[in-house]
Amino acid sequence: MTFSLLPESEQGAVPSLYDPARMSQRAMTAHMVQAVWRTETGWEAPEMMPYGRISLEPTASVLHYATESFEGMKVYRGYDKKLRLFRPWLNCQRLAKSNARVCLPQFDQESLLKIIASYLAIECPRWLPEPGSNLYVRPTMIGSGSALGIQRPPEALFFLFGALFPQSTGKPSPGIKLLASDPEHIRAWPGGFGSAKVGASYGPAMVAQAKARENDCSQTLWLFGSNKLVTEAGASNFFVVWRRKDSDVVELVTSSLDTDIILDGITRRSILELARARLSADSIEANMPTLTPLEVHERPFTIDEILEAHAERRLIECFVSGTAMFVAPVSTIKYADQIVAFPMTVTEDGQKTTVSKYASILKSWLEDIMYGRENHEWAYVIDEK
């Protein structure tokens, strides 16, 4: 990788962790990485350069045919001041899968991880100095070559940048409100591209997102098919915790991956693995003895199952997971003329918060790994020397 870096005096001020500028999600670090691929020559050497605009021809493939893929990941400044990525090899694998789905070239996964780490080793001493904070990282690939007509892009551009997002305040979450989707709004379908992280999965979903906000909800609960299978919530994976109808067994349930209509979320995968390892009947006594053990299931389930569990008082909690949302409890689900409201409690400082015991402990375990309080194989430490 080559480097064309700005002097620190020209990089601008770093906004504080709770600066309103972060809420706009338009505050970026000083540099980005770009690399060009051409059919004839393959990949050129990536370059780290000042963050700025990208020049494209009006006939660029991405502008007409949505030949675009991206990843969302975060880098964490640990309480020990070390810099960590969380399972980044999974992001690299998923980007390769997304690239294949929209006919973009492959980037060697090991090389990609080295590029990301090299970029962050330079950028983070200035832009991520405070322990317990994080920086959002967006690797992206687009079909940049001039290519009118349905064909594989003759040229592609990989770019990578860091975004200064709002930070967690550490206060309990009031929970998010979800509006179940209408039958005419379908996010993904078998044989489609809902399991790939491509722009075409998100643009059309903005119509339903706008309707959710009109109904005092922050996200869409995506349903699919005549039996209204529950799939995702906004751009996040969705989980339900309930007591089984025929026994006192408590289950953690999320939609399975085998239909290819949900994203294989890295936070999702980690939650499932932690729940199986630490919240099962064999292990919960050592990890969280105050909670009832969980059985973990990845399977199709419907909105009617949620409504029935709520009516029978078997529904314990729901939550969502993703890189941006992290782990957030659900306070309300609106479906047709029915409302599922989850129990609330009041904190010592008078704030209302959703009761979410399982989501809270899973979130805390993930944070321990991300910020170095727990030494774990999922953490990828970046050498900043």
Please state, in angstroms and as integers, the Cα–Cα distance from residue 365 to each residue in 169, 239, 277, 355, 373, following that order: 17, 17, 12, 18, 9
Give me the pLDDT at residue 265, please.
Answer: 98
| pLDDT tens, residue by residue, 165-204 | 988 777 777 899 999 999 999 999 999 999 999 999 999 9
Mean pLDDT of 346-371: 87
Query: Would you list the DSSP string of 145-170?
Result: SB--SSS--SEEEEEEEEE-PPPP-S
Residue 250: its pLDDT value, please?
A: 97
pLDDT classification of 355: cutoffs 50, 70, 90:
confident
pLDDT for residue 344: 76
pTM: 0.95
Is domain 176-370 in CATH 3.20.10.10, yes or no?
yes
Are both 2-167 and 176-370 of the same fold?
no
CA distance 278 to 267: 16
Q: Where are the domains of the chain?
A: 2-167, 176-370
The answer on pLDDT for 65 being more than 70 is yes
pLDDT tens column, 270-304: 999 999 999 999 998 878 888 999 999 999 999 99
Checking if the pLDDT of 349 tops 80, the result is: no
Percent of the chain at pLDDT exceeding 90: 85
- CATH level 2 (architecture), domain 2-167: 2-Layer Sandwich (3.30)
Q: Is 177 exposed, middle or buried (0-12, 13-18, 19+ CB in 10 A)?
A: buried
Q: What average pLDDT does range 297-317 have in this prediction?
A: 97
